[in-house]
Amino acid sequence: MKRVLTSLLLIPTCSYVIFSGIPVLFAAVVALFALLCYREYARLAAGHGLAIPQPVGYALGLLLLFAGPRELAVAGLGAILGLGFALRSDDLRQSLPNAGAFVLGLVYVFGAWRAGIALHAMNPHWFFFAVALNWTGDVAAYYVGRAVGKRKLAPRVSPGKSWEGAIASALASIAFGMLYLGRFVPDLPMWQLVTVAAVGNAAGQLGDLAESALKRGAGVKDSGTMLPGHGGWLDRLDSSLFAMPAVYAFLVFVR
């Protein structure tokens, strides 16, 4: 019940922010979500024994979000600072893992939201599609997986997920894409519509598994506790963090 109530609050609120036409509001909410996700990512990294300078990560991440065409310069600066801070490790064998975790967090969290901002600039419906795509898929995977799921998808990472659920997720996402994009992006050819939905769903499912692997490595069940029934923000948005850049890449390189 907590999970349902949280979703009933989040979905209309986020929909309003996406389609409100208030750029400052959208930017502020994206920045907040990115900061919350990065905070939980840093906690997971700490569970792996990796030290991340969070204040520097927040500052660079926000810069990456709104750097515009200067993204490459920010990414390079992140690598420099990550390696610089890693030199402070008492055990120098941790220098490379610490620096890698720092830079990965910037790309994984803030880079994904930067792609989301670019999608929203193209068309708010593209952003909503990239985020909602896996909400639909998750519901289908949950119910089909519980009803008929037998073949484990990734038992070491997420024992509850099945191939049957994954296939149901993909089909539901493609159906959602055909209905939603067919209505709001009518100039998209059918093959591209189906392909972008399939790509976004596959990326989202991979993102879910990747975050599960991070949590298992850190020895925790959830990335946080702020969302009743869901865990943390990273638990709720892990699929979107992979789907947004995947959909954006499709539009940039294929469409």
Q: Coil, strand, or helix at residue 157?
A: coil
pLDDT at 78: 86
Q: How confident is the model at residue 255 (pLDDT cuts 50, 70, 90)?
A: confident
pLDDT at 99: 92
Distances 116 to 10, 30, 155, 225 between C-alpha atoms, Å: 17, 9, 31, 24
pLDDT at 8: 62
Nearest to 27 by CA among 108, 134, 120, 104: 120
pLDDT at 159: 86
Half-sphere exposure of residue 235: CA atoms within 13 angstroms, side-chain side: 18
- Span 182-218, pLDDT tens digits: 999 988 999 999 999 999 999 999 999 999 999 999 9
Kindly report the average pLDDT of the chain as a whole number. Answer: 89
Q: How confident is the model at residue 62 (pLDDT cuts 50, 70, 90)?
A: very high
Distance between start and end Cα atoms, the chain: 41
- What does the angle CA 118 – CA 107 – CA 154 come to, to the nearest 5 degrees? 105
Global pTM exceeds 0.85: yes
β-partners of residue 231 are 227
Residue holding tokens 């890698």?
Answer: 100
Spatial CB neighbours of 166, under 8 Å, sequence gap ≥ 6? 141, 153, 205
